[in-house]
A and B are shown apart, each in its own frame.
Chain A
Amino acid sequence: MLVIDQKSLNLRSCLGLDKIDRLYHATYVWTLQGATPTTIDATDLIQFAGAGGFDTAITVGAYNDSTHVESSVGANDSSGNTPKNSKFISQAGGTGGDSQVDIGGGTVDLDTISTANCPLKINFSHGTSVTTTSHILYGYNGSSQSTGPTEVDLRMAEQADANWTEAEGSGAPVTVNDDTTATSHDYFFLISASPTTVGEKTAFKIRDELTYT
């Protein structure tokens, strides 16, 4: 059984959210982790912003210094929750060619980040125990899954990955490790985005696909 869920993202610039209806007894819950987790509801947005926090811009060519959940009416839903952020630093500048990331305490190897420090948590649950396989995560422009987000450089990784993936379009996804049978499956991701030009970026969604049996 294939299930799909997706969210729209925005570079502050902005972020839009879209959810596909749940199938059968399967449920997806997306969370922006932090000192207190913020559930990303159906109409919420994931906002990537600058060092100044919510609603501050990211310089062209630079990567996000903060991540937030924005409501459909523009409110900061993650305010007070100290949300996690992962900022792309390098693709292969770390130990033995590992990628590097900054989660707020300076540059470290990507594969040293714990699940608790990953900004995005996706939980997939089902009424009965199921395995999950063929699980992928990628960004796209919101209309064509094979096309990456418009005017955005996107890097994503599953927790414990050694290197970032330029997960732009369905042909270049993050490949998520298979899970053995369980009723609840937690997945943890690092995500970082950079605008390639000036202006608001709205053609930007993240899509999660997996097969459960």
Chain B
Amino acid sequence: MKANAKYTAEELLNEAGFDGDKLGKVRVRIGGIPVNKPDHVINIPAGSDKIDVLVGQDTKELSFDGDNDERQVSDGARASLDAEGAAIEATDEHKEAESDEDEDEDDEDEKAVKSDKSK
């Protein structure tokens, strides 16, 4: 595992020798970052030699074998980032739908007002 890369919490825990099933159950710190989800994407900055991984009362050291020349994204991190992107799309579509509904309601209000005025 090299630095200058993004990994998920689960990947880093496994590399350090921990099971990912502890997440959300006990205190977990990865390189100082509090974590409670396995798909939490964490960037290991270039130049990082090692980090401490703490799970409950146990601490292990995770070492890195140098840096990637170009920042890499692990398979797990890629999947997590893709899911975040899909969530952005879902939010945008929801906002568009709400906007369309608002416009439709405005049209209906306008029609009601016109109808009243014509009486």
Contact = CB atoms under 8 A, between A and B. Distances in A.
Q: Interface majority SS on B: helix, strand, loop or mixed?
A: mixed
A165 B33 CA distance: 24
Contacts of B85: 97-99, 161-163
Q: Which size bracket describes the interface of B in this complex? A: 20 to 34
The 7 A-B pairs at the shortest CB distance, nearest first, are namely A180-B31, A162-B85, A163-B85, A182-B45, A131-B32, A181-B32, A177-B43
Interface of A: 91-92, 96-99, 111, 114-116, 130-131, 133, 159-166, 175, 177-182, 184-186, 188, 213
A179 B92 contact: no
A91 B92 contact: yes
Contacts of B98: none
B84 A180 contact: no
B71 A160 contact: yes
B88 interface: yes
B19 to A, nearest CB: 20
B70 A179 contact: no
A184 B92 CA distance: 34
A184 B47 contact: yes
Nearest to A188: B71
B71 A182 contact: no
Interface of B: 6, 30-33, 40-48, 51, 70-71, 73, 77-78, 81-82, 84-86, 88-89, 92
16 contacts: A91-B92, A111-B73, A111-B78, A114-B70, A114-B71, A160-B78, A162-B85, A163-B84, A163-B86, A163-B88, A164-B88, A177-B42, A178-B33, A178-B43, A180-B43, A180-B45
B88 to A, nearest CB: 5
A175 B40 CA distance: 12
Contacts of B78: 111, 160
Contact of B51 (A162, A180, A188): A180
B25 to A, nearest CB: 20
A177 B65 CA distance: 22
Nearest to A165: B88
Most chain B CB inside 10 Å of its own CB: which residue of A115, A161, A182: A182
A126 B71 CA distance: 21
A112 to B, nearest CB: 11
